[in-house]
A and B are shown apart, each in its own frame.
Chain A
Amino acid sequence: MSLMVKDDYDLGQTIHDIVDRYQARPTALIMVLQDIQKHYRYLPGGALKLVARKMRLPIAQIYGVATFYRAFSLKPKGKNHICVCTGTACHVRQANVIVNKLETALGIKAGETSADHDFSLETVNCLGACALGPLVTANDVYFGNMTASRVDRMLDKLRGKETAGEEEEDES
């Protein structure tokens, strides 16, 4: 998965492949955008314009869809994607404590990405694993029955993995 758009050619090729996957059917717009979002972890502006041209749809409709649904983001997301479930079951088990803790630990608010693009923090409505509440997922790995201290351990784990995998990482 590449985070940033390498160049126009790379973008064009990617979008072309994705749109082709759905034979440019206008009804597949949401799925096309989902695939783009999955690839780049956000919807680059240039991508939306290309989709409009390829699918012969007004850019206004694409922008409308891209901003209407929760799944899409027009801003790049961090390398580590942390989601705190704030579904009702997690809420009554004090998920807000976990959100607070993560916000302080990462220095960002829910919905934001850290300046170095290492972490983005999000809250989601329900992950459907209510037995494990309060629940956090980090890069799609589940961390159940979270407490404030487990948050620290989870972040250490994520940061450790980073420094092990990428030497140039300057964050301590």
Chain B
Amino acid sequence: MMARLISSPADLEALSAQLVRHRSENRTIITLCAGTGCMACGCEAVAEAFRDALKKGNLQSDVELKTTGCHGFCERGPLVVIQPSGVFYQKVRPSDARLIIDQTIKGSQYVNRLLYRDPQTKQIITHEKEIPFYKKQMRLIFGKNGFMDPTSIDDYIALGGYKAVVRALTKMQPEEIIEQIKKSGLRGRGGGGFPTGKKWASCRKAMGEPKYVICNADEGDPGAFMDRSLLEGNPHSVVEGMVIGAYAIGSNQGFVYVRNEYPLAVKNLSIAIAAATECGLLGNNILGSGFNFNIDVSRGGGAFVCGESTALMASLEGKTGEPRAKYIHTVDSGLWDKPSNLNNVETWANVPLIIEKGAAWYSSIGTENSKGTKVFALTGKVNNTGLVEVPMGITLREILYDIGGGVRGTKKFKAVQTGGPSGGTLIVETGERKVHESLVAHGDIRDDEEVVSLLDLPVDFDELTKVGSMMGSGGMIVMDEDSCMVDVAHYFLKFLREESCGKCLPCREGLRTMLDILDRITKGQGNMEDLPLLEELSQVMIDTSLCQLGGSAPNPILSTLRYFRQEYLAHIIDKRCPAGVCKELVSHAINAKCTGCHACFKACGSDAIIGDLKKLHKIDQLKCIQCGACYQICKQDAITRAKRGEGVRIQNTAAVGWSLPVKAPARSAVA
């Protein structure tokens, strides 16, 4: 990478043209995904193997190896895509490198074993864009990830990067930019969904100097990793967005507050900022416009509440991340009491697109009040885990089935949770639901429409809020019938109680009390007064909490109470956990399907499993701590999670007339 100064729009154009020319006459590129997901699958060894193989084959001058940011399809990592043909290989091992080079690069054959096979149609798919996971996506923001080395500013410029900055700084007035952002209908991607243009306008108008722009990369929602993948895979798009925003608002100093748990994001972002500064795209007199702008990276200390704007600003100041009441908005008085404009990573990455392609183009995508695309992290019990970017308004069904490939294994879909700990759990199954008889007895029966599946819900800011959840930062966690909804609510509440900063009483005490109640319910000690009490406490928290952490904390409870009230009642009245998750209400027992494979014996941490190879096994009910390790490992569906106390009966029944199933699957004891 050469160091050079870009001091005028013409310079950038010349450089871009030169880079593009250099590329077109360039050779085949092997792109290897090196996002955190693929890293964890060992992509570094694969890269090393490719480098070796290229060296040995003397192909270094003809073939380029590029380690890129996240391609999104984490489920199948490590991923390799051959450009420009777009041949897609998945689950590539270091030993496959030679084969790919010999067959696909030198020859024109595919390595069939590494191609993607559609689990439903069993068809082999050779090219990335034909894979169902990618087909329905609209990858405006993530699209470039697969084509560029995130540490190379050249790659970004060659793909048309920083053109939006040129346009904004030389052809547009700040007011014009804000007008464009307003017209585009862009809303904050961090969860709140506040109109970005409106925020910028208020900050521009606010009294006080200097003004700050801040990028919120404190992605605290468990199960969301799109911001990290953007910073890792395409950090320049965020930098570019921030330059444009700062120019529009009238700020000369920007901050990125990023989680310290994301070392690769910190590294790539810092490299990007250094490169942009060196090229003169950050710093003084950017592109000869007279506009100065610098960005500092600040690493967060790991506190969920710091995703809240006022808490984040306190943390940037080096203090404890406690939020404050917001009757004075941060656009008027934020960081060091100066006007501060905070947007989320994904929001910033949208800005260059809007400036480059126009507000009209942008607002043609999406629904009436939610424009553009949204990146979701699709995780949990779904076949295709990964990052998906879809136009607003797509239905849950399309995301879960067409892109996500449906639920893992043989279990039934149950629910999808969106919006992180402050979001809600939505029902997605359509199967018959028996109304619990005690519902009728208590006069608590819900309307049928409450039980209707939300699979065809169009996903956008307002629709999700309407059904009791929220967009949040875009986590989408799929749950099957093995998930207990009371336990899910308990999980989120426990998370929030730990993360509550403790400054305001409703949040601090409300969460503790609600968690106590849920604790009792999961232990079978709940009573019928608990549910209305939970609802009342929730309302108090919503009305009186200082910040949105407390204000949205009851969402997991309210949404599960709304859609899965029967599960609560099963815990309270029947003392039974239908999903078999809540330890105190369940007994693990081995049924007659046991093949004596001994896998559970090895998995058990408390020596509770008795049995020899190829003999019926048994769980010592006194020793069992109901941890579920055997249930998780058993491939024969031979572990029953029954109501507490019924384990002995089930095992006794199994013992009567058990014989080793004739067609015992030839599967070794060790998984």
Interface residues of chain A, those whose CB is within 8 Å of chain B, are 25-31, 33-34, 61, 64-65, 68-72, 86-89, 91-94, 96-97, 100-101, 104-105, 124-133, 135, 142, 144, 147-149, 152
Contacts and interface: CB of A to CB of B under 8 A. Distances in A.
Interface in B593-608: 599, 602-606
B379 A70 contact: no
19 contacts: A26-B318, A30-B299, A30-B315, A65-B319, A70-B302, A72-B301, A86-B222, A87-B222, A92-B380, A92-B479, A97-B632, A100-B605, A128-B261, A130-B223, A131-B379, A131-B385, A144-B41, A148-B632, A152-B602
B320 A65 contact: yes
A126 B473 CA distance: 14
A134 to B, nearest CB: 9
* 3 shortest interchain CB distances as A-B pairs: A69-B301, A87-B222, A128-B225
B318 A29 contact: yes
B533 interface: no
Interface in B318-364: 318-321
Contact of A97 (B304, B318, B417, B629): B629
Interface residues of B, number: 68
B288 to A, nearest CB: 31
Contacts of B225: 126, 128-130
Interface string B70-104: 00001101000000000000000000000000000
B666 interface: no
B491 interface: yes
Give the most central of B302, B475, B602, B631: most A CB within 10 Å: B302
Contacts of A135: 40
A132 B37 contact: yes
Contacts of B501: 68
A129 B321 contact: no
B381 interface: yes
Interface string B576-614: 000000000000000000000001001111100000000
A34 B301 contact: yes
A68 B40 contact: no
A147 B603 contact: yes
Given A65-B320, A88-B491, A130-B379, A96 B477 contact: no
Contact of A88 (B298, B475, B602, B606): B475
Nearest to B630: A148
B220 interface: yes
Contacts of A131: 37, 74-75, 77, 379, 385-386
A33 B386 CA distance: 34
Contact of B298 (A26, A31, A65, A127): A31
Given A97-B627, A125-B222, A132-B41, A149 B379 contact: no
A148 B603 contact: yes
A70 B222 CA distance: 14
A89 B223 contact: yes
Interface in B450-475: 475
Interface in B358-372: none
Contacts of A68: 301, 303, 320-321, 501
A68 B315 CA distance: 11
Contact of A70 (B301, B319, B628): B301
Contacts of A147: 603, 629, 632-633, 671
B292 interface: no
Contacts of A93: 380-381
B185 interface: no
A33 B633 CA distance: 41
B628 to A, nearest CB: 5
A114 B499 CA distance: 26
Interface in B612-646: 625, 627-629, 631-633
Give the most central of A64, A131, A148: most B CB within 10 Å: A131
Contacts of B224: 126, 128
Contacts of A87: 222-223
B318 A30 contact: yes
A28 B599 CA distance: 51
A119 to B, nearest CB: 16
B75 A89 contact: no
A92 B381 contact: yes
Nearest to A55: B318
Given A128-B225, A130-B385, A148 B475 contact: no
Contacts of B299: 30-31, 34
Contacts of A152: 602
A71 B219 CA distance: 15
B628 A69 contact: no
B500 to A, nearest CB: 12
A146 B467 CA distance: 35
Given A27-B318, A129-B36, A129-B74, A92 B629 contact: no
Contacts of A126: 221-225
B317 interface: yes
